[in-house]
Amino acid sequence: MNRFLKVFGLLSIIVFFASCKNDDDVKVVPPRDYGIQYSSEKDTIEKYLKNNYITVDPVTMDATFGQLPADGSKTSIWDQTEYPLKNKKVLVKNEKDASKNVEYTLYYISFREGVNKRPTRADNIIVSLRGLLLNGTQFEYQPFPDESNSLTAYVVKGFPELMPLFKSGTFTDVPGEPVEFADFGAGVMFVPSGLAYYNKPPSNLVPAYATMIFTFKLYDVTYTDIDGDGILNKDETIEGVDLQDYDTDGDGTPNYLDTDDDGDGYLTRTEITMPNTGVGSNPPVPAVLYEFANIPICSVGGLPLHLDKGCFPAPKSNK
């Protein structure tokens, strides 16, 4: 079901989705060293935060930015306390040379956390967004989204890094009327180019190596099962561990992308199928999967069936 937000008048500008491809006529320059680029860019970001202020509408959660006036009547983004500036460390690994790994400081502000579902980095979201350059140029604007997109498809990696820190809102869905959302998560992120488009800008409005500001409102979340193993992404990790870092069998593939979570040679989907279902042919008996909370615990290692390598199939008797 499409969920349309209330639109007061015609929508004049929708430039690009965060996951869109580059325009064919956009000039791509040779890539710089990521570490060297970020060293100078981090300084630029922090200077912006210390020399500009933010104004947030407490009702709509819309944000505007401006340069600090000389009369001292405004407080910088860096120093203001109404919406405290936060940051998340994001390590981007170089698979060929660990000495070239880069740890980014992703600055962000939460205007409101939200009250409903918290996505993982692999779930689908409905989010409105506005993209700005540090000089105020608006290059992206999508205020009224009507469909969800997977966070795995976002080119701007700030989104899958930060959206799991927010929650969706509630909505009223009256037949024949636009869906209205309330209490949604909202905020702003200040994204270094290494977590955005880097040397491949999305349009001619954006130069290569551009730092970006994205304001956003997280309206809705749809939980997904990206590897199709019968377990939702949100259940493929534990509290406090990033989805991409939870790998129970140590094979280098995180559980949310692994169809055999314990590495025993049996598909996770097979292991969580209820006994006496998914068998027979005349008539066939449909496979019924355990709900995640009801997956039995294996007596061998004390782990759920799909995580216990010694449990499926049942261990042979030593008799």
Query: What digits encode the pLDDT tens for the residues 179-238?
Result: 788 999 999 999 999 999 999 988 888 999 999 999 999 999 999 999 999 999 999 999
* Domain-embedded: residue 42: yes
Q: Are 174 and 297 found together in one domain?
A: no
Residues 181, 247, single domain; the answer is no
Classified as helix, coil or strand, 81 is: coil
Same domain, 213 and 230: no
d(C-alpha 221, C-alpha 119), whole Å: 6
Q: What pLDDT score was predicted for residue 66?
A: 96
pLDDT at residue 300, rounded to an integer: 86
In this structure, are residues 53 and 66 in contact, taking their beta carbons and an 8 Å threshold? Answer: yes
Domain boundary among the residues 189, 222, 255 is at: 222
Q: State CA 49 to chain mean position distance.
A: 23
Considering the domain boundaries, does residue 245 fall inside one?
A: yes
For residue 17, is it within any domain? no
Cα-based angle 99, 101, 104 (whole degrees, multiple of 5): 140
Tell me: do 171 and 305 sit in the same domain.
Answer: no
Query: What CA–CA distance (Å, rounded) separates 39 from 104?
Result: 9
Asked, for residue 13, whether it belongs to a domain, the answer is no
311 and 243 in a single domain? The answer is: yes
Residue 319 to residue 181: CA distance in whole angstroms:
63
Is residue 171 classed exposed, middle or buried when 0-12, 13-18 and 19+ CB atoms within 10 A define those classes? Answer: middle
Q: Which domain covers residue 232, as residue numbers?
A: 225-319
**Could you tell me if residue 215 is inside a domain?**
yes
d(CA 57, CA 112): 12
Q: Which two tokens stand for residue 281?
A: 């042919």
- Residues 295, 275, single domain; the answer is yes
- Asked if residue 218 and residue 70 are part of one domain, the reply reads yes
192 and 49 in one domain? yes
Q: One digit per residue, pLDDT tens: the chain, 319 residues? A: 444 343 333 333 333 334 343 445 666 677 889 999 999 999 999 999 999 999 999 999 999 999 999 999 999 999 999 999 999 999 998 888 888 899 999 999 999 999 999 999 999 999 999 999 999 999 999 988 878 899 999 999 999 999 999 999 998 888 877 778 899 999 999 999 999 999 998 888 899 999 999 999 999 999 999 999 999 999 999 988 999 999 999 999 999 999 999 999 999 999 999 998 888 777 778 899 999 999 999 988 899 999 998 887 644 444 4
Residues 6 or more apart in contact with residue 311 via CB below 8 angstroms: 298, 299, 300, 301, 303, 305
Looking at the structure, tell me whether residues 208 and 240 fall in a common domain.
no
What distance in Å separates the CA atoms of residue 81 and residue 69, rounded to the nearest whole number? 18
Give the pLDDT of residue 137.
Answer: 95
Q: In the 8-state DSSP scheme, what is residue 317?
A: P
**Phi/psi class of residue 58: alpha, beta or left (left: φ > 0; alpha: ψ in -120 to 50)?**
alpha
pLDDT (0 to 100) of residue 7: 35
Single out the residue in 167, 193, 222 at which a domain terminates. 222
280 & 141 share domain: no
Q: Domain for residue 189, yes or no?
A: yes
| Within a domain: 11 | no
85/53 Cα distance (integer angstroms) = 12
Tens digit of pLDDT for each residue in 225-270? 999 999 999 999 998 899 999 999 999 999 999 999 999 999 999 9
How many domains, in total, are found in the chain? 2
- Quickly tell me which residue has 């216990």 as its tokens: 308
pLDDT of residue 3: 40
Regarding whether 42 and 76 lie in a shared domain, the answer is yes
Q: Mark whether 183 and 39 lie in a shared domain.
A: yes
- 126/38 Cα distance (integer angstroms): 30
User: Residue holding tokens 């997904």?
Assistant: 224
In terms of phi and psi (left: phi > 0; alpha: psi -120 to 50; beta: otherwise), the region of 157 is alpha
Reduce the DSSP state of residue 170 to 3 states and report it. Answer: strand
Last residue of a domain, one of 222, 246, 264: 222
Tell whether 15 is covered by a domain. Answer: no
The CATH number assigned to the domain holding 103 equals: 3.10.50.40
* DSSP conformational letter for 48: H
